[in-house]
Amino acid sequence: MQVVSNHYARIFQMPKHKSIIKIIDLFEKRFAFEAHKDIKNKPLVYTLGIFTELGSSLVLITIFVVLGFLSGIKLIYTIIPIYLFQLAMVETIKYFFRRPRPKTNHTKSIFGVKATSGSFPSGHSSNIFAAAYLLSNYYALEIQYVAVLFAIAGAVSFSRIVLGKHYFLDVLGGTILGMILAISGSIIWILTALSLIY
């Protein structure tokens, strides 16, 4: 008990912003989830492992390319540059924060790759929410289809926590960043296109 008390005492002696971050970090680590231990249904865990990769860049860029060939090549040169802008910004932020992944992050993806980049923000969450926004906007989808896309995005983001790949704040940060970067990237793309026309 004395060791714990001393530990928290050291935290509160830090600068205020650092102590808040440290407390949040300790809280999240205490409640980190690990599907392979906490969920007994192995087929469900395996299915989640597949489903979560909807947020991977490889899968999303493949989807964009396929949709581009099906509905017009314009989608490829409209959406992919904005998506790549979002991706580059998120990876830069990851490098800046360098937050360690949860200790529960010890399994490989279905592609045989173990996540090693920084934990904050969640790239999968940012990717899938950016994609949901971009596709909804590009196709001018009706509200029910927009709801479906964002429900899928939310489920993919939640799966990152359940599978032990990220903490809650990583996913929340990725979600917010994905939306902000997709919207700002769209504005930049429109302004650039207009400047070339006029």
Contact call for residues 63 and 135 (beta carbons, < 8 A) = no
pLDDT value at position 4?
42
> 29 falls in which pLDDT band (50, 70, 90)?
low
pLDDT tens-digit readout, 135-187: 999 999 999 999 999 999 999 999 998 888 888 889 999 999 999 999 999 99
Query: How high is the pLDDT of residue 90?
Result: 94
- Structural domain boundaries of the chain? 1-30, 34-197
What type of residue sits at position 50? I
* Under 8 Å between Cβ of 33 and 104: yes
User: DSSP state, 52?
Assistant: G
Q: What is the pLDDT of residues 51-65, one digit of tens each?
A: 999 999 999 999 999
Residues in the chain: 198
Spatial contact of 109 and 49, defined as CB atoms under 8 Å apart: yes
Task: State pTM to two decimals.
Answer: 0.81
